[in-house]
Amino acid sequence: MSHKRNFPLVESTIDEPFNPDADYVRHTRIGVWDFYEDLRHASSVGKSWKIVERFEETLVSLPYVTRTIRTILSLSFPVMALYCMATLVTSLMPAAAIHYSGQLLFVVQEAIESRTVDKSVLFHVLFYRIMCTVVTRFANLAQNWAAIRIAARMRTHYTEHILLAHIRLDLPTYGDPSVRGQLNSVVSSRSNVAWVGIRSIISTISTIIQLVSQVSVLINILKDQPDSILLALVSFADPIWSWFRRSSQWRGGVWAATCRNIDYIRIQGLKALVDGDHYRKELIAGNIEEYVVNQFMAAQGRIGEDGDLSFHEAQQEMHQRRETFSPLSFLHNVLGELPQVVFTLRAVQSPRSIPVSLTSLTIIRQAVGAFTGPLISLLSQTASISDTFASIRQLYEIINIENQVKDGTKPFPENAAKVKSGISIEFRNVSFKYPGVEGDRYAIKDVSFKIDAGQLCVIVGFNGSGKSTILKLLNRLYDPTDGTIFIDGQDIKTLKLADLRRCISVLFQDYTHFPLSIKENIGIGDPLHADDEDRIRQAAELGGAIDIIEGLPEGFDTFLQRPVRDYYSGIPAGNRGQSLFGRSVDFTKVKRRVGKTQQIELSGGQMQKLAVSRTFMRSLGDDSGVGLLLFDEPSASLDPTAEHDLFERLRKLRGSKTMVFSSHRFGQLTKSADLILYMGSSTVLEQGTHTELVKQEGGYAKMYDLQASAFR
């Protein structure tokens, strides 16, 4: 047997003495998960009496809810009206059903007293009682029909909203886990938050209508029956009580959860390694299947069964523990038994009323049953109205998430014609640390240099010396931690972001291809001319990608990654191997109908040529407005001839624009540079022209000699 280390399920302490807010943070460990709750904000942690706060929350969110309702009405008024009508009918029907059941009760009562049954009344009542069921069926049908249509329209509308909210976020903000949490709460729930919210509000109202109508009908029927009111009260106490209980579970507050268990983390990594199709090549070629399985088993064994909880399971476990130990939930169990007890006691007191009491108990039970069903389903949809309101508010508020890189106000450039002859750049004592990086680990430290308009600057240095970081700062993907960057003599932070970026063409080292067609991938380099096929062709030629593209079966229309995948049926469990009902499985026929599904695989160099083409697309033509070209190791995956060709084309294309180039190679390009920045240890170690730096006989000269001799 493997030795298992069991984790304590709950380990609740107020800890972290080094934390100034220590008293406010509660730490709970469940399985491999550590939860941290900020008790200052833990308003709804198992405290149902904080109704005032929930009410306040609801009030704050109310304007957003009314906005959502207005949106729905404007999107699909007739369908929405139908939905509401149908809902109203379904919520009134149970009361009608009880009414006719009550009529039956009178029939029974009369039958007991007079020993005769009025058949016409009986059939009349029965007919309407059945009609109630039929009408409910049709109302449900209409309700579902309308719901699907409203949902579709709402999804279209809010998908747009969510897209807009996402697209405006800058890199540091988007990388912030708390921002991601906020976005995910709205987006990752595949359902459509706004519609689910509104629907649950409607169904709450419908539940209330149902409750009120049922109760009033019940009172009407039972008012002459001794004990019945008492029975009804007692029977309704339980569902109302559990509604109240459920609406106050632990959800809200400010909390964070993390997993520090290295075995659990590795297990997830190993699983992803097996699942993801982009690891499969290396998984097989590397012959590491056995290793992966062994590591998986060993890690699983060390965690033990008790620790192996997913985040959601752990969260649930925590709620359940708090729930189980609460005296309130015990009370709930007792309440459920009350009606029986009361009925028995009264029956013993006055045996004569038993038949009638029994019939009314049945009706009451029917009412409670009809009432509990929708109530429970309503609860599982959304736990409570205040949460529903809050999630609708969140949906609207993601559009207000503040970016960390603030937009400037000055239009740029002041003189559009001047941009063609380049933009000047100055870094003055610039230091930068990536967000979330602790301590002293600066990516660049105290960097100063000046590039005049129209110059060619080459940044050389080893991996990790900060070359890419400098280019990212020039694009204001991030702002410096210290120091200032000047563009044409102006603080970069004061310039309008969109203007600044319009003047810069950049090819990042870790470029990506978009899940769009090759044509669009190149065309998007210059959004204004994205559908100009001639320009796209020209860019592909300059980027050296035209031969590759024309060699593809679908040419410019090829998708490198298809954003929508095809689906194939699975083989039902129980069928061994590739057979279905004993016949062997053959997908070729359906596959042919589905069409081309083959993934196109390009080499690194080919991919790079596509990326370079996109950059060329942006800088083509004199009307491009680009005055600064940034290339981050654009030739890293190219062979020497392709590299040479690329440089030649770049030189021609550049004209008199400023160009900054980064490279870990020391060669022809550095020789023609107006300025070389030789980087090491996160700073600029040497700067000057090739001749100057070689004369200095420093690090640059040494590296140049080394690499030049390798090619000699």
Ligand X SMILES: Nc1ncnc2c1ncn2[C@@H]1O[C@H](COP(=O)(O)OP(=O)(O)O)[C@@H](O)[C@H]1O
Q: What does the binding site for Mg ion look like in residue numbers (CB under 5 A)?
A: 467-468, 509
Task: Please tell me the distance from the alpha carbon of residue 516 to that of residue 519, in angstroms, as a whole number.
Answer: 8
461 binds, among Mg ion, ligand X, none (CB under 5 to 8 A by kind): ligand X
**159-194 exposure pattern, b = at least 16 Cβ within 10 A, e = fewer:** eebbeebeeebbbbbeebeebeebbeebbeeeebbb
* Closest to Mg ion by CB, 509 or 606: 509
Residue 304's contacts (CB-CB under 8 Å, 6 or more residues apart) are 4, 5, 6, 7
Q: Which CB sits closer to ligand X, 463 or 641?
A: 463
| Residue 660 in contact with ligand X, rule: CB under 6 A | no
CB of 436 to ligand X, least distance (A): 7
In the bound state with ligand X, the residue whose beta carbon lies nearer, of 346 and 467, is 467
Closer CB to Mg ion, 58 or 663, in the complex: 663
Looking at beta carbons only, is 198 or 443 nearer to ligand X? 443
**Nearer to ligand X among residue 234 and residue 460 (C-beta):** 460
- CA 119, 120, 123, 124 dihedral sign is negative
Instruction: State yes or no: residue 464 binds ligand X (CB under 6 A).
Output: yes
Please answer whether residues 412 and 504 qualify as being in contact, where contact means their C-beta atoms are separated by less than 8 angstroms: no
In the complex with Mg ion, the residue whose CB is nearer, 103 or 468, is 468
Please, are residues 13 and 313 in contact by the beta-carbon 8 Å criterion?
no
Nearer to ligand X, 463 or 512 (CB): 463
663 part of the interface to ligand X, by CB under 6 A: no
Q: What is the Rg, in whole angstroms, of the alpha carbon atoms belonging to the chain?
A: 35
Please check whether residue 686 is in contact with residue 461, taking contact to mean a CB–CB distance below 8 angstroms: no
Among ligand X, Mg ion, none, the one that 369 touches (CB under a kind-dependent 5 to 8 A) is none
Please identify which residue in 199, 467, 618, 690 interacts with ligand X, judged by CB under 6 A: 467
Q: 462 φ, ψ to 5°?
A: -75, 175
The reply to whether 177 sits near ligand X by the rule CB under 6 A is: no
Query: What's the min distance (Å) between Cβ of 518 and Mg ion?
Result: 25
Which is closer to ligand X, CB of 389 or CB of 442? 442
CB of 494 to ligand X, least distance (A): 25
Binding piece for ligand X, criterion CB under 6 A, among 268-276, 375-383, 467-475, 612-620: 467-475
Distances (CA, A) of 26 to 16, 250, 257, 307, 402: 10, 14, 11, 20, 29
Alpha carbon 487 to chain centroid, angstroms: 36
Question: Could you say which of 61, 210, 357, 469 contacts ligand X (CB under 6 A)?
Answer: 469
For the CB of residue 244, give the shortest distance to ligand X in the complex, in Å.
48
602 Cβ contact partners less than 8 Å away, ≥ 6 residues apart:
548, 560, 610
504: phi then psi, degrees, rounded to nearest 5: -115, 135
| Spatial distance between the Cα atoms of 279 and 287, rounded to a whole number of angstroms | 12
- The CB-of-664 to ligand X minimum distance in angstroms stands at 8
Instruction: Provide the minimum distance between the beta carbon of 693 and Mg ion in the complex, in angstroms, as a whole number.
Output: 21
C-beta closer to Mg ion: residue 314 or 673: 673
Stretch that binds ligand X, among 372-380, 465-473, 541-549, 571-579 (CB under 6 A): 465-473
Q: Which does 604 bind (CB under 5 to 8 A by kind): Mg ion, ligand X, none?
A: none
464 binds, among Mg ion, ligand X, none (CB under 5 to 8 A by kind): ligand X
User: Whole-number minimum distance, CB 692 to Mg ion, in Å?
Assistant: 25
Q: What is the C-alpha separation between 441 and 538, in angstroms, rounded?
A: 43
* 68 is a contact residue toward ligand X (CB under 6 A): no
> Other C-beta atoms within 10 Å of 387: how many?
21
State the pairing for strand pair 425-432/444-451: antiparallel
Asked if 466 is part of the footprint of ligand X (rule: CB under 6 A), the reply reads yes
Pattern 433-462, ligand X, x by CB under 6 A: -x--x-----x-----------------x-
345, interface contact from Mg ion, ligand X, none, CB < 5-8 Å by kind: none
Residues in the chain: 712
Q: How near is the Cβ of 247 to Mg ion at its closest, in Å?
A: 53
Say how far apart CA 658 and CA 253 lie, in whole Å.
Answer: 52
Q: Which stretch binds ligand X (CB under 6 A): 178-186, 229-237, 463-471, 498-506?
A: 463-471
CA nearest neighbour of 444 among 462, 460, 429: 429
**Residue 334's Cα: distance from chain center in Å?**
42
User: Considering beta carbons, is residue 33 or 508 the nearer one to Mg ion?
Assistant: 508
Supply the minimum distance, in Å, between the C-beta of residue 69 and Mg ion: 51
What is the rounded CA–CA span in Å between residue 678 and residue 449?
11
Cβ 174 to ligand X shortest distance, Å: 12
Which residue, 463 or 569, has its beta carbon nearer to ligand X? 463
Closest CB to Mg ion belongs to which residue?
468
Nearer to ligand X, 447 or 500 (CB): 447
- Residue in the block written with tokens 């083959």: 598
- Indicate the burial class of 375 (C-beta count within 10 angstroms; 0-12, 13-18, 19 or more): buried
Smallest gap, in angstroms, from Cβ of residue 478 to ligand X? 9
Binds 505: which of Mg ion, ligand X, none (CB < 5-8 Å by kind): none
CB-nearer residue toward ligand X: 48 or 431: 431
Query: What pairs with residue 484 in β-bridges?
Result: 428
Which of 61, 468, 505, 619: binder of ligand X (CB under 6 A)? 468
Phi, psi of 532 (to 5 degrees): -85, 95
The distance of closest approach from Cβ of residue 509 to Mg ion in the complex, given in angstroms and rounded to an integer, is 4
Closest Cα partner for 43 from 63, 30, 57, 33? Answer: 57
Size of the residue set binding ligand X (CB under 6 A): 11
**Across-strand partners of 676?**
458, 688
Q: How far is the CB of 50 from Mg ion (least distance, A)?
A: 52
> Least distance from C-beta 445 to Mg ion, angstroms?
16
Q: Indicate the residue among 468 and 558 with the shorter CB distance to Mg ion.
A: 468
Distance CA 482, CA 217 (A): 74
Q: Which stretch binds ligand X (CB under 6 A): 126-134, 377-385, 464-472, 537-545?
A: 464-472
Q: Is 463 in the site for ligand X (CB under 6 A)?
A: yes
Round to whole Å and give the CA distance between 681 and 699: 12
Q: Quick one: which H or E segment has residue 687?
A: strand 683-688
Ordered DSSP codes for 388-454: HHHHHHHHHHGGGPPPSS----B-S-S-GGGGGG---EEEEEEEE--TT--TT--SEEEEEEEE-TT
Q: Which residue has the tokens 């003189």?
A: 415
Least distance in angstroms from the C-beta of 632 to Mg ion = 6
Residue 465 binds which of Mg ion, ligand X, none (CB < 5-8 A, kind-dependent): ligand X
The site for ligand X (CB under 6 A) is made up of: 434, 437, 443, 461, 463-469
